[in-house]
Structures are given as structure tokens and as C-alpha cells.
Structure 1
Amino acid sequence: MRLTRRLLNAATHPVSHSTQAPPLVYNLGLSYAAKYSPPFVPASSDPESLGFAGKPTKLGKWVDAMRSLQAGRGVLRAREGGWDEGLQEEVRKWGAGEDFFGVVDSGQWVNIAVSDGVGGWAPRYDPSLYAQALMYHYASAVASSPSIAPWDALQKAYEKINADEAVKAGSATAVGVSLGATGKSRAVNLGDSGFTILRNGQTVFESKSQTHYFNCPYQLSKVPKEMQNGAITDLPAHGQRYEFDLQPGDVVILYTDGLSDNLPAAHVPALDAAVLRVLDVEANAHLEHGERAAEHARLLADVLVASGRAAMARTGDEQGGHGQDWRTPFDIESEQHGRRYKGGKVDDITVLTAVVSERLV
């Protein structure tokens, strides 16, 4: 599916006719929060399963490595120096719930992905295991072959997870994006996770959700023989494929449906603009080019998770001015399908951002 390249090109200003594209840098931001974590459960509660975390296996060690990446959980505090160690301990304690993610930077290619484990397998099977294993095998595929197309990496991951005895059953959505050093990039999306591209403060692309029916996304699955009758078994080939060109200043946002079910799409560029206004204040004037891009990515991921979680707490009865009477996408879609789930949908949420900048050295 190549319409995104045309769509993105239509949104750009005239570019140089130079045959040598400038090498690009991708500054990443990561924020995630489990459904069953404060403020939706008491801070004194024990966290839900962390899946393979802490297990003495290659998969378990990889999950621990991903969980050790600096990340937020939508807790916005005004402080210098970014996230402190206390917050990082909170992030590690509560985890991503049934979501997971993968990051592989090989220099010429930066591969990022997110996955949302389907909760319907609980309590018999832990839904987080499939999502974590899918991301592990996806990351392994792109680490072995950095220039591999995301859809081919997803196919390899699917085949590996079917042979992985550590995962007995489960399902998950997946979105993977391969960011090239020249800006030429590719993506695959299967299900109702997704990705958005911002350029010059506007949304120039948003992936489309794939669902079989309301609240039932396309999903990769591993189904025990005794449960295969009537099971949903989508394939990697059913995912949507994209190719597009990126340029300095673009912002790529990957997310699970904890964001897209709760935060209207129009809020995303508005929140990005708010982050840029924060970076423009005099107190941040000391930030160099690369530092500013890194802070942009970090803050945007966290602001989106914070806003998504705030939207989860909406009742659907909000009234009055000041822009507070909007409805969540899940609320609107449920009504379109003859149901009415008012307000927000409490869920796991994961956001990965990539802010594109030009390499200056």
C-alpha cells in the first residue's frame, strides 16, 4: 500500500533536487502504563503478571532489557533532568500490562514496534506472554537483518512464536515501523494498534484500524487444538503495508488502542504543539539541537500516555465549556454499533515516538 508516500509528499514544501539525501537521526520516546496500575488501583496493590520479566531465558532477559529502557508512565511532573529513578522504579514495578514493545537501532535502520495482547485469553492463559514473545521474535528478526521489511519480520516472528513452547496460547495486534537513515521508511499494521505521522504540526497520515466487528481487532493467534473451532486466526499477510519518506521535523507515533480508543485523533497534533511550546520557553533555551529533539520525543510520548489515561477516567457525562464536552472514540464507535459504552475505556496503553532530525556532525 503506497498511498502514504503520495500523501506525505503532498504535505511537504519544495525540496532540494540533490541526489544525496541527508542522513537522519531518530530520537525515541517511550511511555507505557498497565491498566491495573495507579490511579485505577490503589498504589499499595500488587501488580498484575509481568509476563516473562525476570525469567532466566533469552526471551526473559530481552524483556528485562526492554523494561530497563528509560520510559515514562504518564505521570507529569515539572522537574529538571527528565524522569528520576523513583519514577523509573514505578515504571518497572507496574509494567505495560498485556502490551509490549520492541526497539532495535542498527544505525542505518531504527526498528520500533508495539503489540497489544488480547485479554480474552485470561485467566486460563496470560495474554502478556504472546505480546512479549511476538515483540521478542520481531526484534530478533530485524536485529539479524536490519533492512528486512516490517511485514517480513512480522511473518518470521509469527512463525517463531508458533514454534515457541514458552507460549501455549494467545493473540495480539502488532504494528512495526522501520525507519531508514535516508528517510525512506516502511511499516506494517495488523489490528487496532496503529501509527500516526505529524508534519509541520499537522497529521499527514494515520493508519486505519482493522477489526472483524466492534472491539474485535485483527490479531495473530496461537490456538490450542481443542480450542480451534471458531477461533480468529488472522495471518501477517492480512496486515496493512506502507512505504513513505520522512524528513527532518517529522514525528512518528506508534500506539496501542489504549490511546486511540480514548484520545480523539485531533488531540494528538494539539498536544504536540503544547510540547513544542514548553520547549520554546526561556528555561529550555540551553538545549542543543539533538537535546531538543530527544526531549520532544520523550515529552510527547509521556503527554500522550497521560492524556490517554485521563480520558480513560471520563464518564461520558462531562458538560460545559472549555472544550470538556468531547466524547472518546470508543464511546462514539460503540454507539455507531448499536451499543453505548459511555466515557473512557480503562486499558493498557503504550506509546513510542520518533522525532526525525538531521544529523549535524
Structure 2
Amino acid sequence: MSIAIASTAGLARLSNSRRATTGLFLFALSTSSAIASVHSARTADLHTRHRGSLYAQPTCPLQRDTSPAYVGLRSFHSTSHSRSSTPQFTYHVAASYSAKQDRFNAEANLYTNPPHDPTKSTIANLRACKDTIDKHRRAKSGQDAFFFSQVGTTNATAFGVADGVGGWVESGLDPGDFSHGLCEYMTCAARSWPQGSNTTSLHPKDLLQVAYDEVTEDDSIEGGGSTACLAVAEPDGNVEVANLGDSGFMHLGGNAVRHFTQPQTHAFNTPYQLSKTPQRMLVQMAVFGGPTTLSDQPKESSVTHHKVRHGDVLVFATDGVWDNLSPQDALGIISRQMVELGAWVERDGAIEVGRDLAALVHSGSAQKAGKASLQAKVAVAIAKEAKETGLNTRRDGPFAKEVQRYYPGENWHGGKPDDIAAVVAIVLEETPQ
């Protein structure tokens, strides 16, 4: 999780043990008592000396995603789904998650429900759609959240993660309600598209804007903040990604990392973030003065474009994953799963896509690809490794290395316990009928 508002200290987000994140669907894990107690004591000490804040710093360097668009800018039309001689792709998605305070349960912390069928229901408006989602049945993923959905009646798919900013807890708010609400509205907006839209294309940045607008107007969500990383994936293999903050996206193919997002941060441990300030806090600020809350806009998201191929793997995850696993770590975990299950095979020193990929991604019941599916096993493997690494006091992860770089006096070693959410999409080229 990240700090709810930018702190005047560099360890602002660190002070909150990173954002508590809620999502549309999340996993929750608990730590073992022995390791958890060590991290709790260490984190509590840092929190005492470096309190997280919800307020913007007067000056700070902006670190934007400097990665170039993978295939450059292009026209991205979600209505162009006619079958042709060009390859057609489907995206097979699963999510695994874990709340910081819970034990990891591979079977319970898994979401593989099929995309919404738009032919079976109508959506009056986004608020009505969101209200049909029972808050009590949300994934037990803490302040992290995730979603995936079919885009209207098209063959495009939208998916992503949101990470609630933990600093809002100090203001008596649940950051998870904001991040889960954001993902729920993105799900509803994707399902209902192009209803209410005056454009012929759906971009992830626009999807995020619609959801953010709905959250700010929803009185049931008092306030909070969140980062977000999401995509709209087309059946022609074009994938557009929007990232705001320090959740991130990874594109793998042929046992290689093709793209990894760079986090957007205002300062160390202080990511770009969407936020909603409660009216009571606005009144207090007006009466007593003080700094304003940090609130970035969806339009500030870093946007990249990617062309996928048969057998590629797309990973969207919150910082609970990326603070503990480097791109190389994630590549090793995913490659191991893909090779062991036969999705990738080695021939003549090169990695190729296995012939059984279609059967692997469809593995499960007649209604949905279940826990035996390839995407489910890969998602669980990522979440499990991130969880175990976060509790390991001897293995320095990316977050520990960053603390050592910027704050060597803190003597931080080991992983970083946090909420975790990982969404995995396996790309399958459809065989012409």
C-alpha cells in the first residue's frame, strides 16, 4: 500500500507499511506469528519516526513512466471486432490476492469468474450496476482491489488493479472502500460500454476517469485514495495500458520481459494517486488552514501500447507484489510455471508455445476456467511468492533496496509485508473455424 497523502518525510508511505488496498476482488493472507511480529516491531518503529501524511509536498520531483510506447501511438477502436484474415486473440484471466494480516490460501484467494454476459442483463446506470455488487462478498484482499470484464458486447476485455492509499486510515477512512469502489465502477463502465459514451473507442484512461467521477459523486464512499493500473485488450492483439502511481504492469513472451512499467511517484514511497477528500476535512482545512490533500487526475496516467502474441503473459499487480519481486523474479516464477505445465516448451534452445495452450487455459468446469487453469496457477504462484518474500527478513526485495539507497540509516532488510493483488491474462490465438 502507499501513503494516503504525500508526506513531508521521504518514508511517508513506508510509515503506513504501504497503502492498504481494496479491490473488486482481492485475496487476503495472514503472516506467520513469528515473522509477522518481527516485521510489526520494525515497521512500528519506522512509523513512529516517519509518520505518513495525506498532504502534498510544496515541491517534489515528478518521476513519470519514461518507457516508450511499445508499438507507438495508434487509433484504438473497441468497436472494430469483425473477424477477418488477421489473427484473433482472447484473454484468459485469473486473479490471486492476499490481505496483509491474513494467511495465504491458494484455493480461497483466487478469482476466476467468467466475464459478464451483456445479453443476460441491462445496466440502467453505473450507480445501479455498482449497487448490485454486495460489499460483504468482496474479495478479502485488504486495501488492494482488482477487476476484469468484457467490454460491452465486443470481444475486447478490460482488467486491472487498484491499491488503496493506507494513509487515509489516520483520518478514520477505509482506503479499501475507495479502491474497491473504483474497480466496481470500472467493471460496470466496461460492461455497459458504449452506453452513455459519445466516442467510438474505449481507452483505459477514459475508463478510469468515468469510474473516478462516479466514486467522487457516490456518497456511500466518504473519501480515500488509490493508485490504478489497467488495460483494454483488443481481439486483434492490441493492448492499451494506463498506469497511475506505483502499481504496475508486466508483459512477458517467449521467456523474456517485453515491458515493465515505471512507477509514477512524487517522492520516495509517495505515488501518484486519485483521491476524494471528505467534506468534514475540507471544512477543517478552510477553518484551520494547512496543506491540501494530494490528488492526481486520471489524465496524468502514463499510457503505453503493446502488441501481444500467442502465449504471451500479462501481469497487473499492486506494489505488494512489486515491492517484493523484481521483474527478474517475476519472470522466473512465471517461466517456471509455463514450462512445467507445458504452456511454453524448449525446442532447439528456443522457447516456443506449447500445443496444449488452449486446453490449459480452458481447464475447469463447463461454466468457467477454474483453479486448475493455467492463468489461475500462474496468478497463485505470483501472489504466493510475493507473500512469502514479504515475510522473509533475510531476503532483500526491491523495496528494501530502495530504502537502503535513499535512507541507509534505517537499516531496513528483508521483504515488505503488504496487501497483494495480482491479475494474470494469458493470450490465446483463436483457431479459425
Range of TM-score over shorter length: 0.7 to 0.9
CA gap 1:60/1:312 in 2 versus in 1, 3 angstroms? farther
Q: Mapping of 1:146-165 within 5 angstroms?
A: 147-165=201-219
Residue 295 of structure 2 aligns to a residue whose secondary structure is coil
CA gap 1:144/1:342 in 2 versus in 1, 3 angstroms? same
CA gap 1:27/1:210 in 2 versus in 1, 3 angstroms? same
Q: Match for residue 350 of structure 1?
A: 421
CA distance, structure 2, for counterparts of residue 2 and residue 344 of structure 1: 27
Q: Mapping of 1:269-348 within 5 angstroms?
A: 269-280=331-342, 288-294=356-362, 295-316=373-394, 327-338=396-407, 339-348=410-419
1:277-320, CA deviations, whole angstroms, 9 ceiling, x for partnerless residues? 32139xxxxx944221353211111000010001011113xxxx
| Equivalent of residue 173 in structure 2, options 120, 125, 132 | 125
AA aligned to 2:133 is W
1:133-160, CA deviations, whole angstroms, 9 ceiling, x for partnerless residues? 1112222222222641000111111111
Q: CA deviation at 1:199?
A: 1.1
AA aligned to 1:23 is Q
CA gap 1:279/1:65 in 2 versus in 1, 3 angstroms? farther
Residue 103 of structure 2 aligns to a residue whose secondary structure is coil
Q: Are the counterparts in 1 of residues 204 and 241 from structure 2 also a CA contact under 8 Å?
A: yes
In the alignment, structure 1 segments of 5+ residues that lack a partner are 8-18, 41-56, 68-91, 282-286, 317-325
CA distance, structure 2, for counterparts of residue 296 and residue 227 of structure 1: 51
AA aligned to 2:338 is L
AA aligned to 1:129 is D
Q: CA deviation at 1:115?
A: 0.3
Q: CA deviation at 1:5?
A: 2.4
CA distance, structure 1, for counterparts of residue 67 and residue 381 of structure 2: 31
Q: Match for residue 45 of structure 1?
A: none
CA distance, structure 2, for counterparts of residue 303 and residue 252 of structure 1: 14
CA gap 1:236/1:298 in 2 versus in 1, 3 angstroms? same
Q: CA deviation at 1:2?
A: 8.4
How many residues of Structure 1 are paired with residues of Structure 2 in the alignment? 296
Q: Match for residue 190 of structure 1?
A: 244
CA distance, structure 2, for counterparts of residue 136 and residue 3 of structure 1: 30
1:9-29, CA deviations, whole angstroms, 9 ceiling, x for partnerless residues? xxxxxxxxxx83211111112
| Equivalent of residue 240 in structure 1, options 302, 309, 314 | 302
CA distance, structure 2, for counterparts of residue 65 and residue 135 of structure 1: 15
CA distance, structure 2, for counterparts of residue 122 and residue 353 of structure 1: 29
Q: Mapping of 1:66-81 within 5 angstroms?
A: 67=138
Q: CA deviation at 1:65?
A: 10
- Please give the root-mean-square deviation of Cα atoms over the aligned residues, in Å: 2.6
Q: CA deviation at 1:226?
A: 3.5
CA distance, structure 2, for counterparts of residue 268 and residue 39 of structure 1: 18
CA gap 1:64/1:359 in 2 versus in 1, 3 angstroms? farther
Q: CA deviation at 1:249?
A: 1.2
Q: Mapping of 1:1-361 within 5 angstroms?
A: 3-6=68-71, 20-38=85-103, 58-59=129-130, 61-62=132-133, 67=138, 95-106=140-151, 107-122=154-169, 124-145=172-193, 147-224=201-278, 225-226=282-283, 229-280=291-342, 288-294=356-362, 295-316=373-394, 327-338=396-407, 339-360=410-431, 361=433
With the length of structure 2 as denominator, give the TM-score of the two structures: 0.64
CA gap 1:66/1:5 in 2 versus in 1, 3 angstroms? farther
Q: Are the counterparts in 1 of residues 67 and 262 from structure 2 also a CA contact under 8 Å?
A: no
1:234-282, CA deviations, whole angstroms, 9 ceiling, x for partnerless residues? 111111011221111111000000000011220111111210232139x
CA distance, structure 1, for counterparts of residue 155 and residue 284 of structure 2: 43
Q: Are the counterparts in 2 of residues 2 and 243 from structure 1 also a CA contact under 8 Å?
A: no
Residue 183 of structure 2 aligns to a residue whose secondary structure is helix
Residue 171 of structure 1 aligns to a residue whose secondary structure is strand
CA distance, structure 2, for counterparts of residue 334 and residue 22 of structure 1: 45
Identical-pair percentage: 28
Q: Are the counterparts in 1 of residues 150 and 190 from structure 2 also a CA contact under 8 Å?
A: no
Q: Are the counterparts in 1 of residues 342 and 356 from structure 2 also a CA contact under 8 Å?
A: no
CA distance, structure 2, for counterparts of residue 237 and residue 311 of structure 1: 34
Q: Are the counterparts in 1 of residues 245 and 263 from structure 2 also a CA contact under 8 Å?
A: yes
Q: Are the counterparts in 1 of residues 323 and 399 from structure 2 also a CA contact under 8 Å?
A: yes
Q: CA deviation at 1:212?
A: 1.3
Q: Are the counterparts in 2 of residues 2 and 244 from structure 1 also a CA contact under 8 Å?
A: no
AA aligned to 2:405 is Q
1:102-123, CA deviations, whole angstroms, 9 ceiling, x for partnerless residues? 1111442110011011111115
In the alignment, structure 2 segments of 5+ residues that lack a partner are 1-65, 73-83, 106-127, 195-200, 286-290, 344-354, 363-372
Residue 232 of structure 2 aligns to a residue whose secondary structure is strand
CA gap 1:22/1:223 in 2 versus in 1, 3 angstroms? same
Residue 38 of structure 1 aligns to a residue whose secondary structure is coil
CA distance, structure 2, for counterparts of residue 125 and residue 141 of structure 1: 25
Q: CA deviation at 1:30?
A: 1.1
AA aligned to 1:302 is V
CA distance, structure 2, for counterparts of residue 188 and residue 246 of structure 1: 16
Q: Are the counterparts in 2 of residues 130 and 170 from structure 1 also a CA contact under 8 Å?
A: yes
AA aligned to 2:146 is F
